[in-house]
A and B are shown apart, each in its own frame.
Chain A
Amino acid sequence: MDTIVALALVGTAKHNTLDITTDTPVDALMEQLSVDEIERKLLLSAGTWGIYRQAGQVPEAIPTAPEAAPTESLAACSPEIAKLVESMLKGEHDELLPEALEGMQHVGLRLPYELLPVALGTQSKEIRAALFPVLGERGLWLSRFNPSWSWVAQFLPQGSLPADAEATWQEGTPGQRLAILRLLRASDPAKARDWLLAVWKQEKAESRAALLGTFEVGLSADDEELLEKALDDRAAGVRSIAPTLLARIPASAFAARMRTRADAMLSHSKKVLTVTPPADIDKDKVWQRDGIVVKPAYSGVGERAWWMTQVLSFVPPTYWEERFGMTPTKLIDAVPGEWRNAVIEGWARAALLHESSGWIQPLWDWWCNPKRNKITYGNVVYEIRQELAKRIPQQIAEQRALELKQTSSDWSSAIAELPRPWSKDFGDNYLANLRAYIGSLTITTRSYPYNDPWYQSLEVAAMALPPACFAAALEPAIVLKAEEDDKTTNNLSWQIQYWNTELTKFSEVLRIRQRLIEEMA
């Protein structure tokens, strides 16, 4: 047949020898047709051959099928839950996804098989972590077939190292290798370090950074040598991860260098804390080698303050307690005005890095009083405050949020940082206040809903109210009513509409959460 195809491609006009044979029984059939024209004969042969081949098609052989998925130990969630989770996975109220998935995990349910491809396609790290426990055996099985689903492997149960760990380390996907190294760090940090050292040079920058990140498990002075080397790495990602690890090795040369730098910045004599930020570090590449970034990462911050904050963020805050013989609260109060933000931000970051529990609440108290403490606003404040809030006992945090409501117009962002779900007391309090507020709200031409902290708080409250408050929140529905006979109503209708749209959304989110909880009961 190949000769016929070749002949047809070039054209019969350009050929002298015209042999129309397919070397199949088709040729005998063609003999029976009295066709003289060579082109016609070629076409009819080709057509007949096509049918001949199609009729005689032989299947491909796949001698062994891959192993089937193991039996499930978890039950599939109800179709109702599946529908809700599916729409969340597709972006509708996806803010509720972590709660829904954690709820499923809590009652021992898994996703139905149909949803697995969508679920495995999730990009968010946070959602992936919540998805893993509800993937079921089928999800783990399925994830092996698609390289972009290899993230699943890194969530595989910690603890015992699988027997084929070394093979996985050599040949696995990036996600699998990361998981294996993390496991090995927990049981045998030295061996894990040796494994990484052996391949260090040929790894891509991206994976060097990720793999080095596992050193936070089982970190010790023995890791210092490799981490020091990482400070000189060509990849910025690797260079930025090494200092946060080195800082946590108290006896490391890095920690000592940072302490020396910090000592020059803070001194205490005659009950006065003196702050002396570095005048210039640009010439000194040694600072930069230790991960100090020259250009401020956010606007409104001076270079000197920025350098100081970074240095202080590596030094354990307990160091200052010992050095100056002062409590955290006293130290915070003692920082002079001009450098207050920079120093306390450095301490806050250090307290988070070194998990200095004695510092969390005093620092958080300070960050919660932006007005009194003249904190310049910015995302940094929210970010730090939120991180600190996670480590504060719920009751204390909620108490503080209530106090803030009296004094600050910014309380809506403070309640956004509270641990979720709220306590029933706090939820009840919020709802009672909300009803009272909405009931007495008078809208004027100059009221802009989106500047109203109550308006701003609705989205957060819908997510954070505990199930015990659902009934109270939904019944009767909170709505903003327009005065019928008010002539200005028409002019204000957009504001009322804004409020009611947000209030409807509030009820809608609560209703979805309620349905999820009912379905999982």
Chain B
Amino acid sequence: MGLQLTSSDQVLALAPDSDSAKNAKALGTTKKWKNLGQNPEALWGECQGSGKDPYQVRVDLSTLTMTCSCPSRKAPCKHCLGLLLVAVDTPAAVPTAEPPEWVATWLAKRAAVSKRKETQAQKTTTSESPSAEQKKRAEKRLKQVLKGLDRLDLWLNDLVRNGLASVETQPARFWEEQAAQMTDAQAPGIATRLRRMAGIPNSSPNWSEKLLVQLGRLALLTHAFRQSEKLEPVLQEDIRQLVGWSLDQEEVAARGEKVTDDWIILGQRLDDDEKVRAQWTWMVGAQTGRPALILQFAFGQTPFKDVFPVGTHQEADLIFYPGAAPQRAQLEARRGEILPLREPFPGAETIEAFLASVAAMLARQPWQDRFLCTLRDVIPICDNQGTKWYMRDSKGDALPLAKGEHWRMLAVSGGMPVDFAGEWDGEVLRPLGVLIDGTYYLL
């Protein structure tokens, strides 16, 4: 199979931060490397660092799992990325070869571990019914959450009674305190929503309307949670997850829907303003056309569990979290090889059709606020000297783009129709990439 990444952009998108990307670029030249080699399973090389012995760098090509013998705690480290850059930029410098001993043993060990996991997984699927103690714990948590929500509702009412105008001058602590209480009440999903609201006051001319709507949606959530027995079971799943019941992998595997498809990785976003880094990866199924969002979390510098190179596709089993309009998913198994994205991906033919699909999703799960937007044959429009940007379809309908410099997209499009992928938050589109003549440009 061999390495299927095609551009240095794709490689650099795997970097944990901009410094790593910069340092990796410096290592992306053949001069820095010895004993470079690859075979269908792996890619390896030795990089002379500041120490006596060169660092040994290896990449498992089926999953893009990378390791390096350097002491850096960043993952992937600059050496791993540097090796990938060399392989992408100067493939001739990385000959096909038999893996040296230090690569072969590593590959063998990985194969053994994954086999052990498989057998373990088979064992655990025989689930047992919850013990009495587990039941008791669950009941206790439910009580705690309900108590927390009661307090939240009182607080919400107070806000409206005293007027939202007073919120304008409140510091971030005002929201943080309430969020912390929700965390204590074991409703972290609500805590996250509250923290997000801190950014709304004064952020736009109609901030008061935006804030009121968000507070209202929160009220709807507590309302729905109390009445959840009246709702269909799948929506109950959503509501529990929104309030903060997290599902572990086994639960998702047991209750979620498994979809096998050729998954196209369209874009990625990293949130690392807190101690926990969150990675959002947007995909679409080539056959099913289903959007999928894979959220991964990691503490500090620890790497994310799975590597998803943007602008590639791979046959894989995803399991969607149970819910009324499933979007979030987890990776169950990779089936095929990682291939570069060259063919058009599924997308709406018109903006009208895309907005209709958003409405349909909202009808099933009204708290969703982020959607994958894939559009066929749309034109980027630069208006008012680059201060306003749109994507326009062939009918003349347009959606505004997020604030920013979209010059690169305009340059590669040349004002001609492109296939577009972006994230829609109900107000603006944030571009992820465009496909033009078989090349996917990351944005």
Whether the pair A113, B411 counts as a contact (CB closer than 8 A) is yes
A376 to B67, CA, bound (A): 63
Whether the pair A8, B213 counts as a contact (CB closer than 8 A) is no
Chain B 140-175 against A: per-residue CB contact (8 Å), 1 yes, 0 no?
000000000000010011101111111000000000
Of B118-126, B176-184, B250-258, B384-392, the one contacting chain A is B384-392
> Binary interface profile of A, 36-73, with partner B (CB < 8 Å = 1, else 0)?
01011011111111110011111111111111110000
Cβ-defined contact, A39 with B160, below 8 A:
yes
The reply to whether A68 and B415 form a contact with Cβ atoms under 8 Å apart is yes
Cross-chain contact A48 with B165 (CB below 8 angstroms):
no
Residues of B at under 8 Å CB distance from A? 8, 89, 153, 156-158, 160-166, 208-209, 212-220, 223, 351-352, 355, 358-359, 362-363, 366, 379, 381-382, 385-386, 390, 392, 396-400, 405, 407-408, 410-412, 414-416, 426, 441
Segment touching B, from A9-17, A190-198, A385-393, A472-480: A9-17
- A381 contacts B by Cβ under 8 Å: no
7 contacts between A and B (CB under 8 A): A10-B165, A11-B161, A11-B162, A12-B160, A54-B362, A62-B381, A146-B386
| B362 near A69: Cβ-Cβ < 8 Å | no
A1–B209 touching, CB < 8 Å: yes
Known: A61-B396, A83-B89, A142-B410. A55 touches B160 (CB 8 A): no
Q: List 5 A-B pairs, minimum CB-CB distance, nearest first.
A: A47-B216, A11-B163, A50-B213, A46-B216, A69-B414
User: Contact at A13–B352, with CB atoms within 8 Å?
Assistant: no
Closest B residue to A70 by CB, please name it.
B414
Determine the chain B residues whose CB is within 8 A of the CB of A33 once the complex forms: 223
**Which B residues touch A62, using CB under 8 A?**
381, 390, 392, 396-398
A11, A47, A63 interface centre (most CB from chain B within 10 Å):
A47
- In whole angstroms, how far apart are the Cα atoms of A67 and B415 in the complex? 7
A157 adjacent to chain B (CB < 8 Å): no
- Check B381–A65 contact: CB distance below 8 A: yes
B412 to chain A, nearest CB (A): 5
Question: Given the complex, which residues of B lie within 8 Å of A5, measured CB to CB?
Answer: 208-209, 212
A59–B160 touching, CB < 8 Å: no
Report the number of A-B residue pairs with Cβ-Cβ less than 8 Å: 160
Question: Which residues of the partner chain A approach B209 to less than 8 Å between Cβ atoms?
Answer: 1, 5
By a CB distance below 8 angstroms, the chain A residues around B405 are 117
Q: How many angstroms from the CA of A151 to the CA of B115 in the assembled complex? A: 62
Give Cα distance in the complex from A363 to B166, angstroms.
79
Q: CA A5 – CA B398 in complex, angstroms?
A: 28
Closest to B220 in A: A47
A10, closest chain B residue (CB): B163
- In the assembled complex, the CB of A514 is this many whole angstroms from the nearest CB of chain B, namely 15
- Does A141 touch B at the CB level, under 8 Å? yes
Question: How many angstroms between the C-alpha atoms of A493 and B235 in the bound complex?
Answer: 74
Query: Considering residues B216, B223, B363, B441, which has the most beta carbons from chain A within 10 angstroms of its beta carbon?
Result: B216
Contact A8 B212 (CB under 8 A): yes
Residues of chain B within 8 A (CB-CB) of A45 are 216
What is the bound-complex CA distance between A57 and B410, given in angstroms? Answer: 26
Q: Give the complex CA separation of A37 and B165 in angstroms.
A: 21
Is the C-beta of A518 less than 8 angstroms from some C-beta in chain B? no
Closest Cβ of chain A to B357, distance in Å, is 11
A64 and B158 CA atoms in complex are apart in Å by: 49
| Closest Cβ–Cβ distance, residue B374 to chain A (whole Å) | 16
Q: Is A89 an interface residue (CB 8 A)?
A: no
Seen from chain A, the residues whose Cβ lies within 8 Å of a Cβ on chain B are 1, 4-5, 8-14, 33, 37, 39-40, 42-51, 54-69, 83, 113-114, 116-117, 138, 141-142, 145-147
Whether the Cβ atoms of B386 and A44 lie closer than 8 Å is no
Q: Contacts of B359 on A, CB cut-off 8 Å? A: 55-57
Please tell me if the beta carbons of B156 and A39 are within 8 angstroms of each other in the complex. Answer: yes
B216 touches A54 (CB 8 A): no
Are A48 and B163 CB-contacts (below 8 A) given A5-B208, A8-B208, A59-B355?
no
* Closest A residue, CB atoms, query B7: A79
Determine whether the beta carbon of B407 is less than 8 Å from that of A44.
no
Q: How far is the CA of A62 from the CA of B390 in the complex (A)?
A: 9
Smallest distance from the beta carbon of B87 to chain A beta carbons, Å? 15
Say yes or no: B162 contacts A13, CB within 8 Å. Answer: yes
B365 to chain A, nearest CB (A): 10
Q: How far is the CB of A41 from chain B (nearest CB, A)?
A: 10
* Alpha-carbon separation in the docked complex, A109 to B88 (Å): 24
Contact check, B414 vs A40: say whether CB atoms are below 8 A apart. Answer: no
Q: Given A44-B223, A114-B411, check contact A69 B216 (CB 8 Å).
A: no
**A46 and B213 contact, CB distance less than 8 A:** yes
Among A13, A49, A67, which residue has its beta carbon within 8 angstroms of that of B213? A49
Q: Give Cα A147 to B160, complex, Å.
A: 46
Q: Does A113 contact B386, Cβ atoms closer than 8 Å?
A: no
Within 8 Å CB of A55, what residues of B? 358-359, 362-363
> B363: shortest Cβ distance to chain A, in Å?
7
Question: Given A43-B216, A114-B441, A141-B415, are A9 and B163 neighbors across the interface (CB < 8 Å)?
Answer: yes
Question: Closest CB-CB distance, A489 to chain B, in whole Å?
Answer: 22
Complex Cα spacing A116 to B408, Å: 8
Pair B426/A57 contact, Cβ less than 8 Å? yes
Q: Give Cα A520 to B214, complex, Å.
A: 58
Q: Is the CB of A117 within 8 A of B414?
A: no
CA distance A65 to B382 in the complex (A): 10
CB contacts (< 8 Å) of A8 on chain B: these are 160, 163-164, 208, 212
Partner of A60, one of B208, B218, B362, B390: B390
Closest Cβ of chain B to A228, distance in Å, is 39
Instruction: Decide if B160 touches A11 in the complex (CB within 8 Å).
Output: yes
Contacting pair A59 B398 (CB below 8 A): yes
List the B side residues contacting A141 at CB < 8 Å.
Answer: 414-415
A39 in contact with B397 (CB, 8 Å): no
How far is A66 from B398 in the complex, measured between Cα atoms in Å? 14
A47 touching B399 by the CB < 8 A rule?
no
**Which residue, of A10, A33, A54, has the highest number of chain B Cβ atoms within 10 A?**
A54
Contacts of B385 in A (CB 8 A): 145-147
A514-B412 Cα distance, complex, nearest whole Å: 29
A20 → chain B, closest Cβ, in Å? 11
**How many angstroms from the CA of A64 to the CA of B395 in the assembled complex?**
10
A43:B160 contact, CB within 8 angstroms: yes
B351 touches A69 (CB 8 A): no
